[in-house]
Structure 1
Amino acid sequence: MLEDTTLASRERYMALVACANETPEDFWAKQARRINWFRQPQTILAWDTQQHARWYIDGEMNICHAALDHHVAEGRGDQVALYWDSPVTDSKRQYTYRELRDDVARLAGVLRDLGVEKGDRVIIYMPMVPEAMMAMLACARLGAVHSVVFGGFSPKELAVRIDDAAPKVIMAASCGVEIDRVIPYKPWLDEAIELAGHTPEACLVLQRDQQLATLGPRDHDWQACLQDAQATEAVSMLGSEPLYILYTSGTTGKPKGVVRDHAGYAVALHYSMEILYGVRPGDIFMAASDIGWVVGHSYIVYGPLLIGATAVMYEGKPVKTPDAGAFWRLIEEYRISCFFSAPTAFRAIKKEDPEASLIGGRDISSLRSLFLAGERLDPPTYHWLNDLLPVPIVDHWWQTETGWPVAGNLLGLDMLEDAQTLPHVPVPARAGSATWPLPGFNVQILDGMGDQVAAGEQGNVVIQQPLPPGCLTGLYQDAARFQSAYLAAYPGYYLTGDGGYLDEDGYLFVMGRIDDVINVAGHRLSTGEMEQVLGAHPAIAECAVIGIEDSLKGEMPLGLVIIKDDWTGDEKVLRQMLRERVRDSIGAIASLKDVLIVERLPKTRSGKILRKMIRQIAAGEQYQVPSTIDDPSSLEDVREALSDAGIGRAEQARCANE
């Protein structure tokens, strides 16, 4: 049960929830007044033909202006807006708000000279360099719709996005730089354009010293164009007009182009920087992500700048650049107050440095909080971090589609205008939970029939309409797919595709994708619970549990684990011990068929383990490698481990990309 101090916090929190749920227009009108507008909106909430919420449709603003020009006008021009740190190129740069505004305004002038106008699409195919952020902001400044594609995506995947978005211009770099290699982007871009049916009018290419590109007739040198460019002012945009398209990768078929608007997104990000992250103007904020992910869009580029904070952009890895102490070095050097990463990054750090010896001697006293999202924060990793760091460890949950967090431990309740007496400390965390849904997200748990389930009972995690500002406005040129994927299953609700439960105190536990619930002899079991048990063993760095076909029980759980570098025990004994731990913790019905030790697990670049693909390999099915996979060779590791163990028909599995 909740303690008295937490009950007081809960009461205040519930007052905000009631306001957001019962009078959403009043609630979000108040939040809208906290950002900069050209013309304040009169219509706060409207509904489209699919009964999906649209926000601030008649207000006028520009998110680039609100993120840069507004702060310069308010006296923050000399504050650092961006630190860039690149251990892979041994480079560092910094930009004040005034310098960033001026560079973005001139880059927008370059795009204008190339014929880009309001509503045109621009694809950005770049690594983690400051110019990538400038490219996004320059598009927003002109009212052009940007679509960021991971630098280094294959020509085939890039071609699919070129055909869907039909960009007038593509902004690219000559190359990307990894730990052990330089990746030539320009030849891949040229190949993608040859594969695509649509041809852009121009390509703007940033030449990097690590590998210069040969430019063709449609190509323009980024630096040369900037020398002659004239700055351009921000274009006034209706609040509901599109800001960007961000493609989510599927394992089959055409990727979904999530569309986000200018105003609702700006309001939501500003609100979340305050109420969730507790970030103030002038704070140093770092999201260890990539601009190709929604995290990069929301919390490297737009969120920190909208609130007037300083963003840290990192071209490196949590390990091997140069070691597992990279994050601690960044926190010390830039005096970061709020740090955001994926749990998989810290699992990699824990694997290489289990005792966190590399934190020794580092002054990380500036750190106030550590946020984790992207993959479920397993309790063992939570406890490792909680024991290591004297700051709140905040598991929060959201999706590409929502654009900003759905649930988390609110560190900034006291920062809202109507919350003068709210607590300055978070409520007690519960390992495995993202704490409470943010006011504005009416999260419910429904069964297959659409009925609410009891507290503690697992079901489908849904969000009741209206979705708050900042969420997707639809899928690009695919209204039917938007309806079928998100709205049709439960009319009046948005289907997240995740399963989980709310406990008796309203804490939200997201246990994984609905596909990751397996049926063992009629019992529905969450693979997330079993992973929690496996991951708690001190030898385990990372794990995944999948369901495989069983003639007697329908499905049986199978564990795959990565062991820590410093563990030296007997693998056979470890595997038996892990099977017994799951059986003892969850029950005999959860008996694992086996536990396989692997070197790597297939994951996306954001750290999500590709469990569905592992299931397909185990079943001997054809599988489609997603474009966001971090290391394709990890699939072969898994296939060999499954085949060696005689699991299913893994040796028959074939990649559809081959």
Structure 2
Amino acid sequence: MNRLFFKTAPGIAVSLAAPRHLAGATPACKIASAGRLSLMGRSLRQASLAGSRGISTSPPVHSKLYLQEQLRQRSLNDPEGFWMEAQREIDWITPPTRALETPDPTQPHKVNWFPGATLNVSYNALDRHVNSGRKDQVALIYDSPVTQTVTKYTYAELHHRVMQAATMLRSHGVGKGDRVLSYMGMVPEAIVGMLACARLGAVHSVVFGGFASHELAKRIEDCTPKVVLASSCGIEGMDKVIAYKPLLDGALDMCKHRPAKVVVLQRPQMPAVLRPGEQSWQDAVDHIADKDLYRGYAEVEANEPLYILYTSGTTGMPKGVVRPSGGHAVVLQYTMQRMYGCAPGQVYWAASDLGWILGHSYICYGPLLNGSTTVLYEGKPVGTPDASAFYRVMEQHKVTTFFTAPTALMILRREDPHGAYRKKYDLSHVKAMFLAGERCPPEILRWWVRHITGVDDTGRAVHHVGSPVSNVVSDNWWQTETGSPLVGTMVGLSSDGDEIAPIKYGSAGLPVQGVDLRILRITDAFDEDTEVDPRPTEAPRGEIGNIVLKLPLPPGIMNTLWNADDRFFQTYFRRFPGYYDTGDMGMVDTDGYVHILSRADDIINVAAHRISTSAIEEVAVEHNEVAEACVVARAHPIKGSVPVVLAVRKHHRRDHSDRVIREDIVAGVRERVGAFASVYVRNVVFVERLPKTRSGKVLRKMVRSMIEELARAKDEPAGVVGACPVPTPATIEDEAVKDEIWASLRRWAAEEKESS
């Protein structure tokens, strides 16, 4: 067809030549013993990657084993030695004498890392840097284009503010093990509150500012905080202010639990009316004099909780992920330099929200544990003020490592397709850029690489890292539950690009230290989460299956769910005995690269063919008039289910009609995925925006539920009328998008009904 506009590109299972042998030694190399690989050393011996069968569009080419895999193999073969070496970079009160123990062999999912050791994470993030000569180094940069504010805090200044907040919390009875809930948004006081809790050994639970009262109430009732820290409002755009205090009041009115104190940061954009007994942050914290400061810190056992972070649950009750203090600190310190290539004194920017795991790990704790400078950004990729926002922040603050979600790149590609804004800024100082939150379609990553590095990889499967390592763009994969990456590219292991694993488009990278990742075959008898597969079978390379981690899990991963230890086991360990069930589907290709395809419930079963939604989305996005796409299933009387494609058109391209683009997408899927995918022209629906969470994840379940509601009502004379009956997800970024999608799907259903 002469109207197809898809760029030629291999599928996700293409093979890749492994990087050249790693030889020599970095300045930071530590050789543990002859013939043994140290934590930061390069290759000490040669090894070859064994070939394995799998689907591939070209013959696999295997070379010598590269450093990232050598480190991982050592961590799996000798976890005791590996992690006892890693823990030396943390200051302990009582140093560990061993790395791990399994107290009960009948519960292999229950592992204690660094048992008996004690530390204070806030001390590690602040005091040790103040005491070792970094007190005048900038620790935190608050960059808020929505308030036209840039404020910098040195380590000494941040340390002082944290002691003030800890003094306030302690005056209200907060001590070790008590909970403090934070509902503050992207303000420096939110980080101050987190570190103050850690200083006292209290357990913080950060909730997105602007969360609906009902969802906030669930979290208050579950974690029963002694104190609530809040902001009077949040600022979502240049002219969008959201009142937080009325939402908090509504939540507290629903709760049986009553916190001892509510402290509210009064923001000038919308000050709040305080209830009796409540106090402003300005009065409660800022005026505490030096002579009144509590300067101590609690001694916390390594396996005691640092925080509770709630993630969505299938029952409607959020899951309170509990993060162990010691293992988390060790892994964050380790990954800051080896994974992300950010040294002490350099600037790290994660463009995320403190309410997400990325905000906890790599806005607050990771950079500060490492002695780096962290950027707290209160803004958007576009609209604050325009599509230059990310580039401006990177250049202005000399960011070394940048982290965002693929959705941000999709938005930038839609608004600035030719990278005009990018050309105005010097990003030569940026070493690496990372993506996480959703799978990044290859076309989106190629676009970003082209405009960031100037290298046009159109149609290529692999991007080789240049020397010296600079402007590397890499996907990586992890979860709220894990707290740090499971799969990625460890760009900090060498300054020589030949020694860094190449980037493979469509893949999240290679497993990292401590991660024994496996793919288990999909068995029809065990498709439901309620079933147990007593004999899990590993899939060969190239075959799509359930992504699991073989026990024991590495340090830093959650060790339970708050008030729900049985749910912890049932959700993550029951289905596949001996493994942690990630809930994701994917495959490992012939070169060992991991491809995260979708959540398990996003696999569409079409006439007995299991198809990943991401495979179809990838094809749709490669059309040069499509900015974004989302694929979900709809019921089909013969095939069981078929895909529905929701597509967002690019603003700057209107060369063809919707009908023509629908036909192009269908033809592209038939060519790239296969006719069995059963993508029909009538099932391609155009929408203005996709529904997303604040971290950029597309809310596919909500869309799927809407289609199910329309299917149930299709035989009613008037069809579905009125407001959307599907509940609004608590994590949705803009509730108006839900109504837009519902209206589009109603029109689609009505048109289909008329034509049938």
Aligned residue number for residue 24 of structure 1: 79
Alignment of 1:313-324 (within 5 A): 313-324=376-387
Q: Specify which of 135, 145, 151 is matched with residue 203 of structure 2.
A: 145
Per-residue deviation, 1:539 = 1.1
1:491 counterpart SS class = coil
Q: Specify which of 439, 445, 455 is matched with residue 376 of structure 1.
A: 439
Q: Specify which of 433, 454, 467 is matched with residue 553 of structure 2.
A: 467
Per-residue deviation, 1:636 = 2.2
2:514 counterpart SS class = coil
Aligned residue number for residue 400 of structure 1: 480
Alignment of 1:119-130 (within 5 A): 119-130=177-188
**Quick check: 600-609 or 182-191, which moved more?**
182-191
Contact 1:411 1:425 in 2 (8 A): no
Alignment of 1:62-461 (within 5 A): 62-179=120-237, 180-226=239-285, 227-228=287-288, 229-250=292-313, 252-390=315-453, 391-414=471-494, 425-447=499-521, 448=523, 450-461=536-547
Q: Specify which of 3, 10, 15 is matched with residue 70 of structure 2.
A: 15
Per-residue deviation, 1:625 = 2.4
Q: Deviations over 1:302-323 (max 9, x none)?
A: 0001111100110001110001
Q: Deviations over 1:260-295 (max 9, x none)?
A: 011110001011112210111111110000100000
Per-residue deviation, 1:9 = 6.5
2:408 counterpart SS class = helix
1:150 counterpart SS class = coil
Contact 1:618 1:649 in 2 (8 A): no
2:341 counterpart SS class = coil
Q: Distance in 1 between matches of 2:415 and 2:121?
A: 41
Contact 2:692 2:732 in 1 (8 A): yes
Q: Deviations over 1:322-353 (max 9, x none)?
A: 01110001011101111000000111111111
| Structure 2 residue 95 is matched with structure 1 residue 40 | yes
Q: Mind listing any 5+ residue stretches in structure 2 that lack a counterpart?
A: 1-15, 22-61, 454-470, 524-532, 713-724
Q: Distance in 2 between matches of 1:247 and 1:626?
A: 14
Aligned residue number for residue 644 of structure 1: 747
Aligned length: 645
Per-residue deviation, 1:634 = 1.6
Q: Mind listing any 5+ residue stretches in structure 1 that lack a counterpart?
A: 416-421, 652-658
Per-residue deviation, 1:11 = 4.0
1:342–1:4 CA distance, 2 compared to 1 (3 A): closer
Q: Deviations over 1:105-143 (max 9, x none)?
A: 111011101111111000000010101000000000000
Q: Distance in 2 between matches of 1:453 and 1:207?
A: 55
Amino acid corresponding to residue 486 of structure 2 in structure 1: V
Aligned residue number for residue 684 of structure 2: 595
Contact 2:66 2:499 in 1 (8 A): no
Contact 1:9 1:427 in 2 (8 A): no
Amino acid corresponding to residue 41 of structure 1 in structure 2: P
Amino acid corresponding to residue 179 of structure 2 in structure 1: R
Q: Distance in 1 between matches of 2:175 and 2:254?
A: 26
| Structure 2 residue 733 is matched with structure 1 residue 630 | yes
Amino acid corresponding to residue 624 of structure 1 in structure 2: P
Greater relative contact order (Cα < 8 A, sep 6+): 2
Q: Distance in 1 between matches of 2:735 and 2:280?
A: 33
Amino acid corresponding to residue 214 of structure 1 in structure 2: V
Per-residue deviation, 1:217 = 2.2
Per-residue deviation, 1:584 = 1.2
Per-residue deviation, 1:36 = 1.2
Amino acid corresponding to residue 149 of structure 2 in structure 1: S
* TM-score normalized by the length of structure 1: 0.95
* TM-score normalized by the length of structure 2: 0.83
Per-residue deviation, 1:604 = 1.0
Aligned residue number for residue 655 of structure 1: none
Amino acid corresponding to residue 331 of structure 1 in structure 2: M
Q: Deviations over 1:541-563 (max 9, x none)?
A: 11011111111111111111111
Q: Distance in 1 between matches of 2:625 and 2:264?
A: 47
Amino acid corresponding to residue 125 of structure 2 in structure 1: A
Amino acid corresponding to residue 592 of structure 1 in structure 2: V
Q: Distance in 2 between matches of 1:646 and 1:382?
A: 34
Q: Distance in 1 between matches of 2:76 and 2:98?
A: 18
Aligned residue number for residue 577 of structure 2: 491
Per-residue deviation, 1:441 = 0.7
Per-residue deviation, 1:250 = 3.2
| Structure 2 residue 645 is matched with structure 1 residue 559 | yes
**Quick check: 13-22 or 535-544, which moved more?**
13-22
Per-residue deviation, 1:576 = 1.1
1:255–1:637 CA distance, 2 compared to 1 (3 A): same
Q: Distance in 2 between matches of 1:588 and 1:34?
A: 54
Q: Deviations over 1:507-535 (max 9, x none)?
A: 00000101111111111111111111111
Aligned residue number for residue 418 of structure 1: none
Per-residue deviation, 1:467 = 0.9
Q: Distance in 2 between matches of 1:234 and 1:486?
A: 34
Aligned residue number for residue 717 of structure 2: none
Q: Specify which of 545, 559, 582 is matched with residue 631 of structure 2.
A: 545
Q: Distance in 2 between matches of 1:10 and 1:648?
A: 57
Q: Distance in 1 between matches of 2:213 and 2:675?
A: 48
Amino acid corresponding to residue 615 of structure 1 in structure 2: R
Amino acid corresponding to residue 430 of structure 1 in structure 2: K
2:207 counterpart SS class = strand
Contact 1:249 1:626 in 2 (8 A): no
| Structure 2 residue 108 is matched with structure 1 residue 51 | yes
| Structure 2 residue 681 is matched with structure 1 residue 619 | no
Q: Distance in 2 between matches of 1:429 and 1:277?
A: 14
Q: Deviations over 1:232-257 (max 9, x none)?
A: 32211111111100000236420000
| Structure 2 residue 559 is matched with structure 1 residue 476 | no
Contact 1:619 1:650 in 2 (8 A): no
**Quick check: 622-631 or 570-579, which moved more?**
622-631
Q: Distance in 2 between matches of 1:650 and 1:254?
A: 37
Q: Distance in 2 between matches of 1:451 and 1:520?
A: 23
Aligned residue number for residue 514 of structure 1: 600
Q: Distance in 2 between matches of 1:538 and 1:649?
A: 27
Q: Distance in 1 between matches of 2:186 and 2:313?
A: 23
Q: Distance in 1 between matches of 2:314 and 2:560?
A: 20
Q: Distance in 2 between matches of 1:441 and 1:527?
A: 26
Superposed CA RMSD in Å reads 1.8
Amino acid corresponding to residue 34 of structure 1 in structure 2: E
Contact 1:412 1:424 in 2 (8 A): no
Contact 1:643 1:650 in 2 (8 A): no
Aligned residue number for residue 41 of structure 2: none
Q: Distance in 2 between matches of 1:205 and 1:251?
A: 32
1:337 counterpart SS class = strand
Contact 1:107 1:231 in 2 (8 A): no
Amino acid corresponding to residue 500 of structure 2 in structure 1: P
1:542–1:4 CA distance, 2 compared to 1 (3 A): closer
**Quick check: 112-121 or 359-368, which moved more?**
359-368
Q: Distance in 2 between matches of 1:368 and 1:355?
A: 22
Q: Distance in 2 between matches of 1:277 and 1:333?
A: 20
